[in-house]
C-alpha cells in the first residue's frame, strides 16, 4: 500500500476529529456563557414583571410551563403573589424566593 492511498483516509480522519472537537467546543462555550450569565445575575434579583421566559426557566426548579404561568399572571405587587395566586407551589417558590422581586 502506498502513502498516497492512505492520505485521503488520514485527511478524512482529521476532518472528522476536527468536526467533533469543534462541536464539543461549541457545547462548552454555550455552557460557559450560561454560567457567566447566571453568575452576573445571582446578585441581582430577577424582576417577575419584566423577565423573559428564558430568564425564568433559568431559575432553579422552574420549567417552561411555570414560566408561562408566571408571565400570564403579570403584573405582581410582590413575589409572594406567586403563592397567593397559586401560580407556584410552596416548594418551587422557596427555591426562587431569594432570586426574584416584583418591580412596580
* pLDDT tens digits, 71-97: 999 999 999 999 999 999 999 999 999
CATH topology of domain 46-101: DNA polymerase; domain 1 (1.10.150)
- Residue 81 buriedness (CB in 10 A; 0-12 / 13-18 / 19+): middle
pLDDT for 40 equals: 60
pTM above 0.75, yes or no: no
pLDDT for 6 equals: 46
Per-residue confidence band for 59, with pLDDT thresholds at 50, 70 and 90: very high
What is the rounded CA–CA span in Å between residue 37 and residue 51? 14
Are the C-beta atoms of residues 53 and 63 closer than 8 Å to each other?
no
Report residue 74 as a C-alpha cell: 403579570
Amino acid at each position: 500500500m502506498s502513502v498516497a492511498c492512505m492520505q485521503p483516509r488520514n485527511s478524512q480522519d482529521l476532518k472528522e476529529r476536527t468536526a467533533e472537537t469543534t462541536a464539543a467546543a461549541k457545547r462548552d462555550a454555550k455552557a460557559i456563557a450560561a454560567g457567566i450569565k447566571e453568575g452576573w445575575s445571582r446578585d441581582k434579583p430577577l424582576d417577575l414583571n419584566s423577565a423573559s421566559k428564558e430568564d425564568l426557566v433559568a431559575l432553579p426548579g422552574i420549567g417552561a410551563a411555570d414560566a408561562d404561568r408566571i408571565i400570564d399572571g403579570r403584573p405582581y405587587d410582590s413575589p409572594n403573589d406567586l403563592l397567593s395566586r397559586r401560580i407556584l407551589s410552596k416548594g418551587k417558590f422557596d427555591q426562587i424566593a431569594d432570586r426574584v422581586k416584583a418591580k412596580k
